[in-house]
Structure formats: C-alpha cells, structure tokens
Structure 1
Amino acid sequence: MKFICAFFFFFVVSYGHAKQNSQKPYSSIYAFGDSYTDTGNFVAMLGSGPGIWINNLPYGETFFGYPTGRCSDGRLIIDFIAEEFGLPLVPPYQADHNRSFVQGANFAVAGATAINVEFFEQNNFVSFPLLRNSLNYQLQWFDEVKISLCNCTDECKGFFNTSLFTFGEFGANDYSFILQAGKSIEEVMNTYVPQVIQLISNAIEKVIGDGAITVAVAGQLPTGCVPLFLTLFASSNKLDYDPDTKCLKAYNDLATYHNLLLVKELGRLRGKYPHTNIMYTNYYDPVINIVKHPDHFDFISTPLQTCCGKDGPYNWNATEICGMPGVSACQTPSTYLHWDGVHLTEAAHRYISTTWLNGPHAIPPIKPQCN
C-alpha cells in the first residue's frame, strides 16, 4: 500500500478571549493531520520521483490547474476554512522551513498515524519503511515553528490565543495498517482505538499548554464506504453490507466506535480546561448523508464510485490508481463524492466545510456565532 496517499485527516482550533475583528476572528491557522489535510508535506518529504502519483495531473486540476501535493482534484477543507477567514492557504511546513509561519503552518502529512511510526515497523505491521510523519513528529515540527514565533510561555500564549489550531481525523491510517496486517476489527477496537484516542488527547493538551484556546478535532469518516476498503475487504456475504448504503457495516462500526470514544474524551477535556473551546468536527454524518441521498447534494446516483481510477466495481484497483499513466479522471468531478478511491473531491470538501463552519456537523461550529 506504499502508493496510497494515506487516509485521513485532521484537527485543532484556537481563538482568544480578547475582542477580535468579527470579519477575521483568527490571525493564523496551525494544522495537524494526514492526507485529508496535507497541502504538500508528503511530496516535499519524498520528492517528485517515480511512484509519487499525487504529484501528477489530474491531481489539482479543478482549482489550481496543476498538482500541489493535495490528495484531491482541488481544495481541501483546510483551504476552505482559510478562505472563509481571509487567511492565506496554510503552507506545508516541510516545503520550506525558512519561510514565515506567522499566519500559520500545515504539519499534516499523507499517511500519518497517531501511533508512532516506529511501532508499526517494529511489530511488522508494514512491509516498507514509513515516513517520520506521525503525530509526535508533527508536534515536534510545531515546536520548531513556535521558537521562531515567540520566546517564552507567556509570549506564546499571547500569540496563539488568536490562532486556529486544527487536527485531522487521526486513526484511519493506524487502523488500515493494522487491519491489513491481519488483525481483527475486534482487536482494533479493544486494543488500538483507545491508544489512538489517548494520543489525540495528549496532543490537544500539549497545544492548550502552548496557548491554544479553541480546539477542533475531526472524527473518522465512514470508512466502510471508501472504495479502497470496499475493494480490499470485499465480502461474498451480503449481510456484511448495509442495505441502505451498500457500505461495509463492520468498518463503519469501527469508525463509529472511534468517534464515540473521541467525543467522550473531548467532553472530559472541556471539563478539565473550561477556558477553552474544544470542537468536534464530524466527517461521518455529512459523508453518510451524501451516500444515502446523493441527489440531494447534486452528486451522481452511484456515490461509491471513484472519479479518478480504473476498473473494479468501484472504478478503483490497486495497480492502476489516479495519477498513473493511462488512468484518467471523470469529466465532472464536482458530481462525485470520491476522487481517487481514498480521498474526497473538492466538491465534497466544500460541502463538508460549510457544515463545520456554520453547523450542524461541528459542535460548536468553527465560525464564531453572533449572540
């Protein structure tokens, strides 16, 4: 699975008690996550050599007109959030360590895990070396940026209390690696989901200690609806599929369990840090709504199909993926939920971002609400 720009993403947010401009409540954005948030770190770390398919068209074709290292045809949710608040698109930290990150930095990397990458290598969960991109490394990169922005604890707290911190949906890559190594869903739920939630919680507490006031953390997508999972874990038993969505029930149950534990932990942190605004950003419900009712959102009537891919029941197979020679994208990506079999289209990101900025799929919404 080395070729796959890994799963997912996402996130923390921070803004201060001081009176702020109502048109621009955040002065900067600092983002952590995986491929759902990565704006170029994966490509910067690996270069543009053979096998880096996301560095080829049609990636980026819809908005930028060229590949940017984003795992989509265009903008990601983090881009729409930046645009909403009049901020520049959040630059990937690994692309240029020497630039100014006063208005934000993106530390997310495709394939990133919550659990340290060394764990997967030492326990033979993967058969190839991983990038040093897990959550612990992203927090180290943040500390490097922090040194360039502020000199002491009080100064940093004053700087970051007007920043928006975002954490993507950490956990999807962890679970994917472990499941592909042959572990059962029950073992993942009992052993690894609690570990992932604890690591996310630790990271939230770390940035709060650095001055974050508002923290928005993304849950899991319904991974049983992702063409990659539908192909790799296909079943001959019809009972394994939800009759309404045609998605794999067990993998959606895993995502739901992760989200329930995450919401519970965020509630605990709210009680521990009453001065913060800790948000839960929900991927699951908006995606499952599109799968169930694609016509309501102007998507095609077969929402599990991939726009950019080739062959297989979902227009996706592991040997001919988006970005490879001979693999083309659909003519209307704006009508598709899935871009490359793993990631979403710009159209899907745009819709989900509106539900996070204004509700109802962020609790509370990211965009400050008028009293």
Structure 2
Amino acid sequence: MKATACLCLSVVFLVLGSLQAKAAVLPQDRSDAMYHSYKGGGMSIDGPSILLRKKIGNSVSVSANYYVDTISGASIDVLATASPYEEERTENSLGVDFLNDKTLMSVNYTTSSENDFEAESIHFGISQDFFGDLTTLTLGFSKGKDEVGKTGDETFLEEAERQNYRLGLTQIITKNMIVGLSFENIADQGYLNNPYRSVRYIDPTAAKGYQFETEVYPNTRRSNAAAVTANYYLPYRASVYAEAKLFSDSWGIDANTYKLGYIHTFGDDWIVELRARHYAQEKADFYQDLFSRSAEFNVRARDKEMSTFNNLSFGASVTYEFQFSAANFFKKSTINLDIDHVNYDYDNFRNVLLDAPVGEEPLYQYSANITRLYVSIFY
C-alpha cells in the first residue's frame, strides 16, 4: 500500500513574462507520456503515466491522467516481519478548468486502486488576479476517502477520510522577480496507519530478545504547512529559485524543507536545471524504535517515516525542445529527463536485519535514485 505523486519539470523563468501580461490563462493543450522509476531502501517502483489536456473554446480546458506504479521488494520495517512482495497501483484522474476574465476555476476527480487499497478524492480550486495582474490569490479544497484492506485477511476493512484546505498568494515584485506564500491545513480521520507495519518490544524469552505486534495510531490527525517561494530571472536567460517550507501536526511531528535551484537555457532548444533539497523532521510523540513491553502505550508506532530523520537530494533535469511549423497542428514537442539522488539518515530507527545486541543495532540509512523520462507534445 503506497501513495505517490507525479513530479514534473517546472521551467520558472519562461512564465514570468506571461504572468505580467495575463496570469489567469488556461493550461496549454498537450499530451505527455512518462516513465518513472524509484530504486532504494529495498524498494523498486516504476511504471508509465499518460496525460491528455485539451481546450474547448476559449474558456474551458479538460484533462485526463493515467498513472501506474508497479511495486516490488519491501522496505526494511516490513522485511523485519514479512517477505518481499509485488503489487500494482493504478491511478486515474479527470479534470476541468474554466476561465472567466481574470478568474480560473478547476475541479479534479481522482481514483487510486491496489489489491488492498482503494481511494477516491475530489479537488476544487479557484484563482483570481488583482492589481493589474501583478497579484494572484488562490484557494483550494480537497476531500478524499480511503478503504484499507489487508492481503490474506478478507475480514479486514477500514476507512479513512481526508480534507485539505489551501491558500496561496503570488506577487510579482519586479519584472525579474516573483514571490509566493502558501498555507495548507489537512484533517485526517479514521484508520491512518499501515496494517502491515509493526512495533517491536523487549521480550527476554524470544530468540532475538524482542517480538513484534501491530502498530496502533490515533484516529485523527491535524496538519499545517506554510511555504515561501521566490523566483528570480537572470539577464543571461537563466533563473534561480528557492523554497522554504515548515510543517507541524497534532502527532508531534515538526519538519522543514529547503530547496534551491538554477535553470539555464542553451541556444533555442536546451533547458538544464540543477537543484538541491534538504528535509528534516522530528519524530511523532508515540514513535519508538523499541518498547519496553507489549502494549506499553495505547498508541504506538515504529514506521521509520514517523521517526526523526533527514534526507538530502541532488537532482538535474534536461529538456530538449522541437519547434514545428506554425501551420502544423503540433506546435512543439519536448523530451525531458529528470534524475534525483536522495540520501536518508535516521536518528532513532535501527536496522534490525543486522546482528547486534537489542537496542544497539546500527542506525538505518540508505540512498535512492529517482528517474523520470517523458515526452510532451503541444498542439
């Protein structure tokens, strides 16, 4: 059971000029075909994605997306109690954008399906330009529902509901600089943990000195996030961008993310992006790597994503653009390659797959490679 998000290349400086003239515009007509791959931490995830987007007149744009994850292997906290596995997740989404003068409204419906997990969500958004199109205000709301099953146990069925509220403000400061502020509030309720994950507790009678039992999470969670972004266009057809984001939730997790990037064009056809990102978080209040006894607390977790950890990633993107004749139905096409390398370091999650005294196992760390190769056609 897994949730993923498709990350696409953002060429910031190419939109600065259009933002000044008319920020509220419909998305371009385009078709994308992508292959994505993630390898690291005992997991291999890959699959295709297809996106189609088309305007209807001057006020409406419709889109459809098909996305597949083929998952094999298992992360370390699953391998401690189970065998590697294979499964496939399929995601489908339909969207509509409606433009009225300086107001852009959108609605999107998404479904996701696995052998043990079903999810559906609906997203609403609206953006409005002010002050000569120099300021854009965006509002968003999402509501989703999950149905969680468990392979091998047909009687296991749990549900969760999720709500998300978003507020954003984008401001053009100068002809070369744009900044943005965003705020997000998320409310989750229901079954919020993974039925395959377990906590471990000390048991002197066990062969390894400890045993496992199922995690127990709270059935509610409130999360808040705030971010500030800045993009600056350089005079030699390049741009730099930066982002800082803070996150906190009712489970005691506090996190921050910092990102820095540089984009440069070469000739009329090539775009290169270099980026670095650092993420760090503090553990959930109910997380422990090792509990002193069975059912020590009413809520308890050992999922490594609930622990104290940080990751540092470095990435690069290369885009090559083909320009077609103005009389051609297809206006242009791009080939895009994104590669990211991520290093994860955990401060209080131990590698129990290695032999060591209980509670003294080496702290876990691993690296992952993320690749996205896609072709876009604009028409």
- TM-score normalized by the length of structure 2: 0.35
Instruction: Say which one has the larger Rg.
Output: 2
Using CA pairs below 8 Å that are at least 6 residues apart, which structure has the higher relative contact order?
A: 1
Instruction: From the two aligned structures, give the one with the greater strand fraction.
Output: 2
